[in-house]
Amino acid sequence: MKCGIDVGFGFTKAINEKGKEVIFPSAVAKTFMTDVGIKPTSDYFVTYMNQTYAVGKAATQCLITETSFSEERFSTEFSKLLVLTALMALECDREVELGLGLPLMLYPKLKGKVKDYFEFSEEIIIDSNGIAHSYHITRCEVFPQGVGAMFSITSPVEDGIYCILDVGFRTTDVIVVEIRNKNINPLLDMCFTVDKGMSLAVERLGLMIERKYGVSYDTSLLFDIHERLHISVRGRKIDIEPHKKEVFTAIADDIVQSISRRLQRGFDTFDGVLVAGGGAFNVASVLQKEFDNVQVLDNAQFANAKGYLTLLNLGV
């Protein structure tokens, strides 16, 4: 079974060839299962190599949570746990063809290492019900983030020059391509990574909450902040929508300005600006105030994972 998995700094997004999708925070924590008469409902608790781990949202609720931002993360047990958990959640067959991605700035350096780490591996992961899931990764291809997003587009794209912005949790990748007669040619001088993402908004929001309400919210507790309307402060529900809007708009504007300085050409000079990633709507809303050629890709958060799956099918 073919699967595309986007192991992002903030969230892991995955899709299989049957169209099933899963998403969970890219967080892992060593733990143990204690019988208190009530079974945990948070996903996921798994056992790998005789060690029990909380993965995803369950990990963000543990005392010690690993949310690695280092470049080594992509070829370590941390990433393997996220990938295996995604395969389990997707209900994949044992034989897996895997498409993964890397930030553009790390792609040349790490693509071979990541491919070698995953390809041909045979792994067993045990779910919280004690059921073992065995996987053999028969093929692993590694693609640049952003390029994956480009290949998630299903409708025909007219000839022209396009700028793809992949706004992630930790970084933002910028890919500029020229499309002529269905051929895609990357304009390498205008392809780069901005070391800024929506994690800045989460950090700033945590500081704002601490200053205003005198309570400390660790970043891991704010992973799902885009879904939340309130936080709890001393037993009271506090509406954080106004704070979120202010912070996310400010960070999105900062990201746009950083991209503009590197591109050295106006966004209005492209035939289209295509925005993907978890921060797509925030950045697009800033750009759309000035430019008419900005479009958020369908299912923007899953764009890379869907693109990896397409590239696997193309045999790239």
pLDDT for 203: 82
> Are residues 141 and 227 both part of a single domain?
no
Q: What is the mean pLDDT of each run of 10 residues along the chain (316 residues)?
A: 93 96 91 54 83 88 65 88 97 97 90 96 94 97 90 86 91 92 87 88 81 71 64 80 85 92 89 91 88 91 95 85
Query: What is the count of structural domains for the chain?
Result: 2
Domain of residue 43: give its range: 2-147+306-314
Instruction: Give the C-alpha distances (Å, rounded to integers) separating 164 from 215, 230, 236, 270, 282.
Output: 38, 33, 42, 10, 15
> Are residues 230 and 257 both part of a single domain?
yes
Question: What residues contact 279, with CB distance under 8 A and at least 6 apart?
Answer: 167, 168, 169, 172, 197, 198, 201, 252, 255
Model pTM greater than 0.75? Answer: yes
The C-alpha atoms of residue 275 and residue 260 are separated, in whole angstroms, by 14
Give me the CATH number covering residue 222.
Answer: 3.30.420.40
> Are residues 39 and 138 both part of a single domain?
yes
pLDDT for 221: 54
pLDDT for 38: 44
The C-alpha atoms of residue 78 and residue 80 are separated, in whole angstroms, by 6
pLDDT for 138: 98
H helices of 96-167, in order, are 107-118, 147-150
Phi, psi for 174 (deg, rounded to 5): -120, 120
Two tokens at 265? 């050409």
The C-alpha atoms of residue 229 and residue 211 are separated, in whole angstroms, by 19
> Are residues 134 and 243 both part of a single domain?
no
